[in-house]
Amino acid sequence: MKNPKELFEQMYEKPEEVGWIYTAPPQELVTLVQSGKVRPCSVLEIGCGEGRSSLFLALKGFTVTGIDWSEQAIKRAQQNAQEAGVLCTFLTLDFKELRLKQFDFIFDWRFLHDIVDKEERKRYVEIVHRHLKENGKYLSVSFAGNCELINSPRNVLVYFASMDEMEKLFTPYFKIIEKKMIKIVRMRGGKRNATYFFMKKAI
């Protein structure tokens, strides 16, 4: 079996078959910006994919850096930014290699559920915390379930965490501003439950 990175590279070679590529940013992120809960600032998107959310924020006056471990995804993000005439920084980078400056806002959309090892999930949250400025904010949205590990149709392992488990993961590092269960629309029809956590860095 190929490792996850190889699988993602292979899938991005045929973007029409990738189930998470959208032409518009998620409405929940749009609402955060429109409401003023997140104002123009320095932003890091982890698992940026083809960069649609990063481009949306850049157009709204944010200074945006997007990272993804897929070289194919980053190439597409850079191309999308060039075509849109938008300035973003896109880097091929695994979150474990993060050694960047601190940011005012960090977000991951449909990314955390791809980290299936519990110790690595904790390490990820610690890294996010470390890369946030004082009073920085963090948004995380990931698939929800009964704390179960599932092999997706594309042969990628995904961890479906409960709301309670996610809260326990975040609370040592963040103060939760808003939490809720949302529905994520799937490209091939139907919706999937996801946990939504909007947080502030705990000192």
Q: Residue 2: pLDDT above 60?
A: no
How is 101-134 classified by DSSP, letter by letter?
--EEEEEEES-GGG---HHHHHHHHHHHHHTEEE
Binning pLDDT at 50, 70 and 90, where does residue 1 land? very low
| pLDDT band at residue 12 using 50, 70 and 90 as cut-offs | low
pLDDT at residue 154, rounded to an integer: 66
- Decide which of 7 and 50 is more confident: 50
Specify whether the CB–CB gap between 48 and 26 falls below 8 A: no
Q: What is the pLDDT of residues 117-145, one digit of tens each?
A: 999 999 999 999 999 999 999 999 999 99
At 56 the three-state DSSP class reads: helix
The H or E element that residue 90 is part of is strand 89-92
Give the pLDDT confidence of 151-184 residue by residue, as tens digits. Answer: 766 667 889 999 999 999 999 999 999 999 999 8
Give the CATH fold of the 4-201 domain.
Answer: Rossmann fold (3.40.50)
How far CA 139 is from CA of 17, 37, 128, 132, in Å, comes to 27, 11, 10, 12
Distance CA 136, CA 1 (A): 39
CB 125 within 8 Å of CB 173: yes
Per-residue tokens: 74 = 């980053």
Express each pLDDT in 15-26 by its tens digit. 555 555 667 899
pLDDT band (50, 70, 90) for residue 47: very high
The reported pTM is: 0.90
